């Protein structure tokens, strides 16, 4: 298995009020020795706690994005990455709450290279996950979205998880614009529409290291996110087709 450090890669970690988890997430990622800290971009999405200060202490790139939204954070990081003298080969996107297991990063990298993939998704449903890590609404929403993809694109997937690697040039081709919680589904659907190769890898998913999820921990928010994901899916289908 290929586990050599690849300096021609970047990591994007959107984070909002993750002072209890960001150190755990960053330490785990850097301890893999697969990613150099100068290639990690933590985007503080208008936190009111010490997320920014803690991330800075790790020597990684820390950006501040005042406009709230997962997509806004990712787009900000990409705008900074575009300024690099040498463009990365691939981008890893992961959460800052410690739920993603960095030990699985080597699996995503291996799949990326061995299968010449454009997009590698860390599936949280192929393997067993830590009890309580995925709520009912998350599971249902995930199942429904994967079912819609099967119906409209005739391709079977088990998850749309946030732990993912995407080829940088492929990412640029997608022209992603969603600023909030439609970012991941927009990436997935646009990749399907562009006939890109998408691969799933089973990963271990944990309960967040600290605090309460901004989505699964809030029923109203979970419903809003679910509606946004469905809206984004059908909007892309209508505007761009299959």
Q: What is the pLDDT of residues 99-115, one digit of tens each?
A: 999 999 999 999 999 99
Rg (CA), the chain: 17
E-assigned strand segments in 104-239: 119-123, 164-167, 198-202
pLDDT at residue 119, as a whole number: 99
Of 219, 153, 221, 216, residue with least CA distance to 185: 153
**The overall pTM is greater than 0.75:** yes
- Per DSSP, 39 falls in state G
What confidence score (pLDDT) does residue 222 get? 82
Answer whether 63's CB lies under 8 Å from 76's CB: yes
Mean pLDDT score of the chain: 93
Strands 9-15 and 61-64: unpaired
204 in Cβ contact with 129 (< 8 Å): yes
In the chain, domain spans: 9-240
Q: What is the pLDDT of residues 60-96, one digit of tens each?
A: 999 999 999 999 999 999 999 999 999 999 999 999 9
Minimal CA–CA distance to 74: which of 13, 9, 6? 13
Which of 2.60.40.10, 1.10.3720.10, 3.90.550.10, 1.25.40.340 is the CATH number of 9-240? 3.90.550.10
H-helix or E-strand spanning residue 51: helix 51-56
Alpha carbons 135 and 131: distance in angstroms, whole number: 9
């Amino acid at each position: 298995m290929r586990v050599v450090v690849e300096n021609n890669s970047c990591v994007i970690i959107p984070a909002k009020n993750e002072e209890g988890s960001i150190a755990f997430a960053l330490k785990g990622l850097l301890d893999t020795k697969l990613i150099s800290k100068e290639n990690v971009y933590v985007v503080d999405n208008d936190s009111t706690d010490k997320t920014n200060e803690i991330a800075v202490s790790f020597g990684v790139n820390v950006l501040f994005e005042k406009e709230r939204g997962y997509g806004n954070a990712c787009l900000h990081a990409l705008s900074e990455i575009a300024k690099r003298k040498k463009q990365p080969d691939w981008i890893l996107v992961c959460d800052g709450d410690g739920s993603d297991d960095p030990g699985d990063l080597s699996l995503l990298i291996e799949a990326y290279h061995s299968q010449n993939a454009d997009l590698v998704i860390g599936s949280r449903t192929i393997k067993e996950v830590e009890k309580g890590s995925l709520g009912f609404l998350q599971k249902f929403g995930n199942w429904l979205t994967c079912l819609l993809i099967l119906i409209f694109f005739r391709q079977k997937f088990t998850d749309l998880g946030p732990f993912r690697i995407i080829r940088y040039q492929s990412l640029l081709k997608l022209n992603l614009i969603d600023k909030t919680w439609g970012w991941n589904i927009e990436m997935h659907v646009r990749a399907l529409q562009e006939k890109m190769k998408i691969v799933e890898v089973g990963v271990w998913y944990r309960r967040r290291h600290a605090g309460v999820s901004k989505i699964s921990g809030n029923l109203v928010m979970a419903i809003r996110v679910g509606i946004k994901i469905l809206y984004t899916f059908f909007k892309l289908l209508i505007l761009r087709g299959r």
